Amino acid sequence: MTRRVAILISGGGSNMVKLAESMTGDHPARPVLVLSNDPAAGGLAKAASMGIPTASVDHRPFKGDRAAFETALQAVLAEAAPDIVCLAGFMRILTPDFVGRWQGRMLNIHPSLLPKYKGLHTHQRALEAGDAEHGCTVHEVTPALDDGPILGQARVPVLPGDTPETLADRVLVQEHRLYPAVLRRYAAGDRTRIDLG
Ligand code: GAR
């Protein structure tokens, strides 16, 4: 049975594009919705050009009322009836109530080797710590931020002269390999961890 995938974004959506591109042929899933909290997110136009239904629920009018924002988000998501929800650069913190509705069906990509550097500014923090390697993680979403069972990681070296920007670029290349690889397995019911070098 083909699995239906909704992808949540906030920005350019490069991970979303890689996920969507991967879901062809014998892949067990197909994209059914790209949803953003920002109507101006660049990824929405990219998704539309790929023929994927898009929607946005602007978080700003809710003025910090997360529950009300999530009620609107949930209504749009539910209509698309996804089996799997992929957070791909979705930059809103979700409440335990919302996460609970999707737990076991929701993935996230985070730009660090979790459990290191939950939250923001991960590349800068890896540089400041003098880490020799850095990377990205795909994990199942649980109520605690950037927590939850790890489904895959990809590593990159930290090189002399790296800035947060150069490091982010090197990690993003790996994000684009890792997330599609994990989703393919996950959609087939395989939750064994992937490690990319
Ligand atoms: C990616 O690097 C992703 O790992 C990060 O945002 C970027 C989105 O890029 N996500 C987070 O920081 C989540 N806390 P994209 O829009 O080009 O996929």
Catalytic residues: 110
Residues of the chain scoring pLDDT < 70? none
Question: What is the per-residue pLDDT across 109-161, written as a single tens digit (0 to 9) for each?
Answer: 999 999 999 999 999 999 999 999 999 999 999 999 999 999 999 999 999 99
Ligand 1 mean position, distance from CA 127 (Å): 18
| Residue 114 near residue 137, CB atoms below 8 Å | yes
Q: Which residues pair with 31 in a beta bridge?
A: 5
Torsion (CA) 10, 60, 51, 85 in degrees, nearest 10:
60
Token pair, residue 136, equals: 């990205």
Ligand 1: residue whose CA is nearest its atom 5: 89
Which of the listed residues 9, 118, 172, 178 should we mutate to test ligand 1's pocket, taking the one with most ligand atoms within 8 A of CB? 172
Residue 1, pLDDT score: 86
Ligand 1 mean position, distance from CA 139 (Å): 13
Ligand 1: residue whose CA is nearest its atom 10: 89
pTM for this structure? Answer: 0.98
What percent of the chain stands above pLDDT 70? 100
Atom of ligand 1 nearest to the CA of 11: 16
Residue 197, pLDDT score: 79
Atom of ligand 1 nearest to the CA of 172: 2
- Tell me if 152 CB under 6 Å of ligand 1: no
In the chain, what are the domains?
3-189 (3.40.50.170)
DSSP string, 23-83: S-TT-SEEEEEEEES-TT-HHHHHHHHTT--EEE--SGGGTT-HHHHHHHHHHHHHHH--S
Atom of ligand 1 nearest to the CA of 17: 18
Atom of ligand 1 nearest to the CA of 90: 13
Ligand 1 mean position, distance from CA 172 (Å): 8
Residue 56, pLDDT score: 98
